[in-house]
């Protein structure tokens, strides 16, 4: 079974007709639009009114982005179907994904709010085809959202004015509601409020980016607010910001997966049918190697992101493991996406620049994903908090099955306080590493055992703990352990054959060696830590039969499997 998306064969299981219909209609919209127009609009930076018209006509965002109970019976917030929807949008263009994604972010603080009037209005607006925006970032503050300069000043009982500017806010031109983050004057408590871009005191200043997306700078000057416009106050506003990003950042991995998948179809079709020196380009051993690596990495990205979905859907106040896994979808899957594109681009070379290739836009746009909604660094800094419990205090937790049921993911909108990450407990990662009896998984488990030994016997000292450069290198090794764990858990669930799992683990072994070498080279690494890093550097086991099987049965099988109509 091929796990990668093929729009010509949408065979993912869904418990209801409407979910299938959303995927099918979305694919049909793009296939009808065709590659020529898709690319023309991209190059001319045309606002995607046709896509939004389709979304409105078919009630797509209403179905996908209204939690159960607020909209039509077919509406629910269901991360299982959201995955594939995000993947399809990324497959046809990051710009289409982006207008949806920033709507998701804008909806986060609304659906998390106790303001039932705004929620009822939002549900109506979604039915009418509205889009939304998330006004968190500011020009001068970047990731430091503590320093917001959007100030809400109380006037009298229940009345306020808001003044300040926001920067990089997608959909800030056309959104029905911009969920805007700021601070109360004086006390400095945080606040989230609903702003209306049509209001005369909302100035849409500019599109900061030259793209089909409208990534706005907007300014509010004495923008009037009443209690009815407020979504959250104080600690809850802060939590709503972080909890919204928890939901949203998961979708970035799916954009990457969709983009790489489309690029892979184009790349294999080009390379396998191009002849140089009386042979196919794919006959070069290094080309074959790059394709096998790209394919294995892409399957790994998808297995990981799918498994993270299960944990997001199973999350509860008692089970917050998703807070490790979804930043990983954001930082690891998206950086792997860049790597896949690099491999493919090295193969197809000049073809990857041509204006009528999907590849050309994906090669540029995929760079955005590791950088948005918290950079890779921010996410590594976040996940290292989980390391002690992950390695040294595993607990028995209920096994999470594949979550493809038609549930509404209620918990995502009542995640509670964003703090307390260091107390979250995990199940034993060694179990997943022991499930596959293939050489490279075993080798990887040995590398991980040495890393755990380093943490136990030569842990980072006080100065190293303060050195974010050192922590990043250690964080990459940790991330790879978590990545491998969920990939292997899901390989079982999806019945991935041993050859492909071994090929994926071949890449994991190489990556682990690479990160170990980086840690080894940091200025402050101690001799004992260096010795352990050297023991982590291992050569993967090569098996010509396995490699040829993955190449012939998996990668080459994609030649001609899909091409977007022109
Ligand atoms: C096209 C686009 C669309 C966007 N859409 C939206 C949107 O709709 N709504 C919205 O609110 N924002 C949006 N953003 C903003 C974006 O999410 C943030 O700007 C981004 O997450 C932070 O990037 P920055 O360049 O501001 O980095 P900065 O915060 O300036 O960081 C500078 C450097 O410091 C590092 N750093 C910062 N903090 C830490 C830390 N705690 N630990 C370790 N390293 C750290 C970073 O990794 C980076 O290398 C968008 C941005 C772009 C470009």
Which tens digit of pLDDT belongs to each residue from 311-370? 999 999 999 999 999 999 999 999 999 999 999 999 999 999 999 999 999 999 999 999
Is the CB of 143 within 6 Å of ligand 1?
yes
Calculate how far, in angstroms, residue 326's C-alpha sits from the geometric centre of ligand 1: 17
* Residue owning the nearest CA to atom 50 of ligand 1: 168
Provide the pLDDT for residue 373: 86
Instruction: State in Å: Cα 180 to ligand 1 middle.
Output: 17
What lies within 8 Å, CB to CB, of 552 at 6+ separation is none
**pLDDT average, residue stretch 89-110:** 98
Best of 208, 241, 372, 465 for a ligand 1 pocket test (most atoms within 8 Å of beta carbon): 372
With CA atoms as reference, report the closest residue to 394 among 485, 492, 302.
485
Closest C-alpha to 369, from 341, 343, 331: 331
- Give φ, ψ of 273 to 5 degrees: -105, 10
For ligand 1, atom 40: residue with the closest CA: 378
Q: Which of 132, 168, 367 to mutate to test the pocket of ligand 1 (most atoms within 8 A of CB)?
A: 168
Q: How many CB atoms lie within 10 A of CB 30?
A: 22
Give the mean pLDDT of 101-130. 98
Give pLDDT, residue 1: 78
150 touches 219 (CB < 8 A): no
Instruction: Write down the pLDDT at residue 477.
Output: 98
Q: How far is the CA of 9 from the centre of ligand 1 (A)?
A: 37
Rounded Cα–Cα distance for residues 565 and 79 (Å): 29
Which of 93, 104, 135, 142 best tests ligand 1's pocket when mutated (most atoms within 8 Å of CB)? 142
Average pLDDT value for residue range 98-107: 98
Q: Mean pLDDT, to the nearest integer, of 177-195? A: 96
Q: How far from chain centre, in Å, is Cα 396?
A: 28
168 C-alpha to ligand 1 centroid (Å): 9
Which three-class secondary structure state does DSSP give residue 519? helix
Tokens 């990043």 belong to 472
With a cut of 90, say whether residue 404 has pLDDT above it.
yes
Q: Does residue 381 have its Cβ closer than 6 Å to ligand 1?
A: yes
If one counts every other C-beta atom within 10 angstroms of the C-beta of residue 331, the result is 28
Question: Could you tell me if 242 and 415 are in contact, meaning their C-beta atoms sit under 8 angstroms apart?
Answer: no
What is the 478 CA–ligand 1 centroid distance (Å)? 23
Nearest Cα residue to 312 out of 333, 298, 327, 300: 327
290: tokens are: 């790059």
The encoded tokens of residue 355 equal 């204006």
Phi, psi dihedral angles at 237 (to 5 degrees): -65, -45
Q: What are phi and psi of 552, to 5 degrees?
A: -75, -45
CA atoms lying within 13 Å on the CB side of residue 197? 24
Nearby residues of 438 by Cβ (< 8 Å), 6 or more positions away = 498, 501, 502, 505
DSSP 539: P
For 434, other C-beta atoms within 10 Å of its C-beta total 13
Say how far apart CA 412 and CA 416 lie, in whole Å: 9
Check pocket membership of 327 for ligand 1, CB cut-off 6 A: no
Distance CA(206)–CA(218), nearest Å, equals: 7
With vertex at residue 122, the alpha carbon angle to CA 121 and CA 125, rounded to the nearest 5 degrees, is: 90
Measured CA to CA in angstroms, residue 439 lies from 66, 293, 516, 556 at distances of 46, 17, 20, 24
For residue 382, report the distance from its CA to the centre of ligand 1, in Å.
Answer: 14
Cα(181) to ligand 1 centroid in Å equals 15
The pLDDT of residue 374: 87
For residue 168, what pLDDT is reported? Answer: 97
User: Residues 6 or more apart from 528 whose CB is under 8 A from it?
Assistant: 457, 458
Mean pLDDT of the chain, nearest integer = 97
Beta-carbon contacts of 555 under 8 Å, excluding residues fewer than 6 positions away, are 268, 291, 292, 295
- The alpha carbon of 375 and the centre of ligand 1 are apart by a number of angstroms equal to 6
What is residue 152's three-state secondary structure? strand
β-bridge partners, 163: 151
For ligand 1, whether the C-beta of 369 sits within 6 Å is no
Q: Are 246 and 201 in contact (CB under 8 A)?
A: no
Residue 400 above 90 pLDDT?
yes
Indicate the pLDDT class of residue 32, thresholds 50, 70 and 90. very high
Cα separation, 373 vs 255, whole angstroms: 13
Q: Which of 375, 378, 468, 472 to mutate to test the pocket of ligand 1 (most atoms within 8 A of CB)?
A: 375
Contact, 125 vs 243, CB < 8 A? no
Stated pTM of the model: 0.98
Q: Which two tokens stand for residue 503?
A: 């090929």
Centroid of ligand 1 to alpha carbon of 388 (angstroms) = 27
d(CA 533, CA 507): 18
CB contact at 8 A, 12 and 23 = yes
Indicate which residue's Cα is closest to atom 48 of ligand 1.
375
Q: What is the pLDDT of residue 61?
A: 98
DSSP state of 373: S
Ligand 1: distance of its center to the CA of 373 in Å?
6
- Nearest atom in ligand 1 to the alpha carbon of residue 102 is 8
Distance CA 298, CA 285 (A): 20
**Are the C-beta atoms of residues 417 and 238 closer than 8 Å to each other?**
no
Averaged pLDDT for residues 67-72: 97
Judged against a pLDDT cut of 90, whether residue 187 lies above it is answered with no
Over residues 267-293, the mean pLDDT reads 98
Stated length of the chain: 566
Q: DSSP letter string over 375-437? A: -HHHHHHHHGGGHHHHHH-----PPP----S----GGGG----S--GGG-----HHHHHTS--
């Amino acid at each position: 079974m091929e796990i990668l998306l093929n729009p010509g064969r949408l065979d993912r299981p869904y418990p209801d007709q409407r979910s299938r219909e959303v995927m099918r209609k979305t694919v049909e919209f793009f296939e009808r639009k065709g590659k020529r127009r898709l690319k023309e609009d991209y190059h001319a930076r045309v606002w995607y009114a046709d896509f939004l018209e389709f979304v409105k006509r078919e009630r797509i965002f209403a179905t996908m982005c209204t939690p159960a109970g607020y909209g039509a019976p077919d509406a629910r917030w269901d991360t299982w179907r959201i995955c594939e929807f995000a993947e399809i949008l990324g497959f046809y263009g990051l710009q289409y994904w982006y207008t949806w994604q920033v709507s998701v972010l804008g909806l986060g603080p609304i659906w998390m709010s106790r303001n039932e009037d705004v929620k009822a209005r939002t549900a109506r607006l979604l039915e009418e085809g509205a889009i939304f925006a998330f006004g968190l970032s500011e020009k001068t503050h970047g990731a430091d959202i503590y320093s917001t300069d959007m100030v809400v000043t109380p006037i009298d009982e229940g009345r306020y004015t808001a003044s300040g500017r926001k920067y990089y806010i997608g959909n800030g031109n056309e959104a029905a509601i911009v969920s805007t983050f700021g601070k109360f004057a004086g006390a400095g408590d945080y606040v989230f409020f609903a702003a209306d871009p049509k209001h005369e005191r909302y100035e849409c200043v500019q599109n900061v980016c030259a793209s089909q997306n409208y990534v706005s700078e907007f300014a509010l000057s004495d923008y009037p607010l009443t209690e009815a416009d407020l979504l959250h106050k104080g600690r809850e506003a802060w939590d709503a910001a972080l909890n919204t990003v928890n939901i949203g950042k998961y979708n970035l991995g799916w954009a990457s997966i969709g983009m790489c998948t489309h690029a892979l179809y184009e790349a294999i079709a080009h390379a396998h049918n191009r002849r140089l020196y009386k042979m196919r380009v794919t006959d070069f051993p290094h080309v074959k190697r790059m394709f096998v690596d790209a394919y294995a990495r892409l399957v790994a990205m998808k297995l990981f992101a799918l498994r993270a979905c299960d944990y997001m859907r199973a999350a509860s106040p008692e089970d917050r493991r998703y807070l490790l896994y979804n930043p990983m979808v954001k930082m690891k899957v998206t950086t792997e996406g860049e790597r896949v594109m690099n491999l493919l681009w090295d193969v197809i070379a000049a073809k990857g620049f041509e204006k009528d290739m999907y590849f050309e836009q994906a090669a540029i746009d995929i760079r955005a994903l590791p950088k948005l909604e918290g950079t890779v660094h921010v996410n590594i800094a976040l996940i290292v908090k989980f390391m002690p419990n992950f390695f040294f205090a595993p607990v028995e937790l209920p096994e999470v099955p594949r979550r493809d049921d038609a549930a509404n993911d209620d918990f995502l909108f009542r995640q509670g306080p964003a703090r307390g990450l260091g107390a979250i407990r995990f199940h034993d990662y060694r179990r997943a590493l022991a499930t596959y009896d293939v050489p490279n998984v075993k080798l990887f488990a040995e590398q991980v055992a040495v890393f755990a030994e380093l943490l136990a016997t030569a842990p980072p000292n006080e100065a190293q703990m303060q050195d974010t450069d050192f922590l990043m290198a250690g964080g990459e090794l940790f991330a790879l352990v978590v990545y491998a764990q969920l990939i292997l858990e899901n390989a079982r669930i999806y019945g991935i054959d041993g050859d492909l799992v071994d090929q994926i683990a071949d890449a994991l072994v190489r990556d682990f060696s690479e990160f170990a070498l980086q840690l080894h080279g940091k200025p402050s690494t101690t001799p004992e830590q260096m010795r352990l890093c050297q023991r982590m550097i291992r050569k993967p086991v090569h098996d010509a039969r396995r490699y040829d099987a993955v190449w012939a049965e998996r990668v080459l099988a994609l030649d001609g499997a899909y091409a977007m109509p022109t």
